[in-house]
Every structure is written in structure tokens, then in C-alpha cells.
Amino acid sequence: MLISFTLENWKSFRNEVTFSMIAGREKQHNDRVPEIKKYKMRVLPISAVYGGNASGKSNLFKALEFSKKIIVNGLKLERPIPVDPFRLDPSCKKKPSNFSFMILIKDNLYEFSFSVTRKSVLKEKLVQIKSSNEYKLYERAGNKISFGKPFDNDDRLKFVFEGTRDNQLFLNNSVTQKVDSFKPVYDWFKNSLVLISPESEYMGLRNYIQKDHPSNKKMIDTLSSLDTGIHGLEEKPVRIDSVPALKDFPIKIIEENTEEDIGLVLSFSGDRYLFTLEGDKIIVKKLFTSHRNIEGKNISFEMSDESDGTIRTIDLIPAFISLSEPCSNFVFFIDEINRSLHTLLIRQLLESYLESCSKDSRSQLIFTTHDVLLMDQDLMRRDEMWVTEHDREGSSTLYSFNEFKEIRYDKDIRKSYLQGRLGGVPRILLKGALSDYTSKNSGQKG
């Protein structure tokens, strides 16, 4: 579970901001808020981030995306760290960007933080938090590192650090060198944290297409209930040379992957193809949907025949199924969840997920959206709703509706938001500009 996330000097976030999933004193929907008794803490199962265009919503997503990339994949030798500090203040260019995570893995709470510039990792620290105190596992400062017990006399860890490049996190290198001491934290970022952008497909979709998968029927039933008209998904083998756009892709697969199942990709034509490796042979299958005709027979459609909204729905349903499964420990962050989708469809998916949550749940959903119709206290608590807003200098801030004490649980929070009383609403200047232009040019001939 993600407990909190802090960032500073990253894209539009010049100053330090903290996004927290720790529940406040709200009493609404208490039955679905997980309890972590060991730490006397309640953690939220869902959070929505609202805000106007260019307010910083997606930059929060991109900060997690950046962090996951350098933790899990690392960087090649001598490559600059792709950090992007706040650009509108020249002094920020020379300052480091800072990131800090507090995460719960099973019953253990960790805090992992790092500070980077484009040239190097300046600081890195991993702490395990107990119920009454905390223990440093390791702390890095430039080209020096210190270890806490029981690792302070581990010569191998010191040797591994000596081989850690300036542009590489020690957490990444330790796992690369087959050191398991800190692997649970690495694995959380690799396997539990799932990021879905508006342009990406959730790779877990491949499993749900298989007819022998336990959730295949749920996938199809959900698609049908959401009025997509789809009654089935299927794969059909195709020849690689029949798809010119994929000419060089098989070579890339062989060079960059060793796993048997590669996953789904989106071609230039809008269709989906599944690549698998059987030995050295590449097997390509194309994804089709099926609709029933007036005689009740299934008719195959290519993915490119489906609407953008239907394709987006197909991508998102596996995520919601994964979140709702018993013992799920996924943390999904979906950027622009409402892209190409109707409000009622999204709300139904959210309600379905929240109905599966309980005090024993460990899955979480975070999403960004423009859709104020989802800003409803019957759906979410005040501490589950966040807003990003930028000031006149272009710097973003982040705050929860829970900070507004005057907002009652029975208040129409959407109305207050649209009136600008809660911030996060774009400053509309275009209307006045167009009016001025029209009045100045009304007497001129075309």
C-alpha cells in the first residue's frame, strides 16, 4: 500500500508537496477504509486528483512514473538522469529534485527517499518503521554509504555500493547484483505499483483474454454490462509479414526481452497484437472483439473498428478486476481516467471497486480527472479528494478537501468547487479577450 508520497522541485512542483493516503477523522464510508492495527493507522482505498488544465495533475503521475523507472530499470552507463526540475525559476535548475515514499509491504512499513540531479544521485535512504521506532537500513550521501543493523558489517553490500554508478540508485544496483536484503521494496515498485497513462495499455489484459483464466468470464460480463455491445474477446494467429508497421518490432522483442509472454502492443493502425516467444520463434496473434448480430451469432470486429471509449474500457476493466480480487495488493494510478469515457461508466467501475473494499483490503486506486460529476461525497470522502492548482508564477500546489473545515459531509462539494471557493478551477481569461477583440474589430470590413 502507498501511505504517502512527497516531491519537490519536479516539473510544475517547485516547493515540497505531500500526497497522503492516510485517512483523516472522516466518518463517511468507514466500513471500507482498511485498518493497519500494528501502526494504529487507517489507509484510504481510493483518491481522486482534480484540477484545471496545466495545474499539475499529470505531473504527479509522471513523478511516480519517473521514480519507478529509475528504481526498477535504472539507467545505462553515463546517461543523464531524466529529471525535470521546475523551469520557471532559474535557481531551481541547479537544485536537486527530491522524492520520498512511505509504503506498506505486508505488515512492514518502509520509507524510501532519494535526491537527484541530471548528473548524479546525491542522497538515498531506506528506513524500516516499527510500531514504536524506526531503523535505518542504509543511507547514502554522494559517494559514501552507511548501513544500519544488521547490515553494518556486511562487506558484500559495501562492495556492491562501490560498483554503483553516480547515475544509479543503490536500491536498483543491489537487486541487479542479486542482493535480496532490500528486494521487497524494489519488488513493490516493480510489481505492486501499476501506472496507466491515457496512451498506455494495461499489460495485464493479456491474461483476461484467455478463456481458461478465472476472471475471463467476469471480464466479458463487465464489458457487456457497460453497454459496449461486446460479447467476447479472442486472439487469432497472424503472419508478421502481413503487418508492415510491425516489420522491425520482432527484432526489438528478441533484443530487449527474455520473458515468454511479451504482452500486447498497439500498432499504428489501432489494432492490438500479442507477441509470445516459443523458443526462438515469435508467435503473433491479433486481438478481435465479437458482437452478436440480429440472429444471435457472434461477428468478429477488429480493435480499430471499436470506438476510442470502448478500447479504453477494455484496457481499464482488467485493472478494476485486479483491484477487486481477494488479497489484492495492487496500487493503480490511472492518469485521466475519464479519457474518452462517459461519467456514468466510470462511476459504475468506481462503485464496483469500492463495494469490494473492507477494513482488511490492501489494494488502492488513485486517479486524475477533470470530471467534476465524480466529485460526490456519496461516492468518496473529503480526504479522498485532492486538488492541484498553480499560482501566478506557475508553481503547482496540492491539497485535500479535508483541509476545508467548513465543508460538511452533507454539503454539495461540487457546487463549491465550480464556484471557485475551493481552488483548482482554471482562470478563464479567453472570454474577455475575445470580447475585447470583437468590439475593437466590429467596425472593420472583412
- Segment 343-386, tens digit of pLDDT: 999 999 999 999 999 999 999 999 999 888 898 889 999 999 99
Question: How much is the pLDDT for 438?
Answer: 47
Q: State pLDDT tens for residues 51-109.
A: 888 889 999 999 999 999 999 999 988 899 999 999 999 999 999 999 999 999 998 99
Question: How much is the pLDDT for 281?
Answer: 74
Rounded CA separation 422/249 (Å): 48
Q: What is the 3-state secondary structure (H, E, C) of 284-320?
A: EEEEEEEEECCCCCEEEEEHHHCCHHHHHHHHHHHHH
Mean pLDDT of the chain: 86
Helix, strand, or coil (residue 236) = strand
| pLDDT < 70 regions, the chain | 201-203, 244-269, 279-280, 405-411, 416, 419-446
Residue type, 308: D
CATH of domain 1-201+319-431: 3.40.50.300
Is the pTM above the cut of 0.85? yes
Residue 365: which residues within 8 A CB-CB, separation 6 or more? 45, 46, 47, 323, 331, 332, 334, 350, 353
- What is the C-alpha R_g of the chain? 24
What residue has cell string 500546489? 397
Rounded CA separation 331/196 (Å): 11
Reported as half-sphere exposure (CB side, CA atoms, 13 A), residue 393 has a value of 10
Q: State pLDDT tens for residues 248-260.
A: 665 555 555 544 4
Question: How much is the pLDDT for 211?
Answer: 78
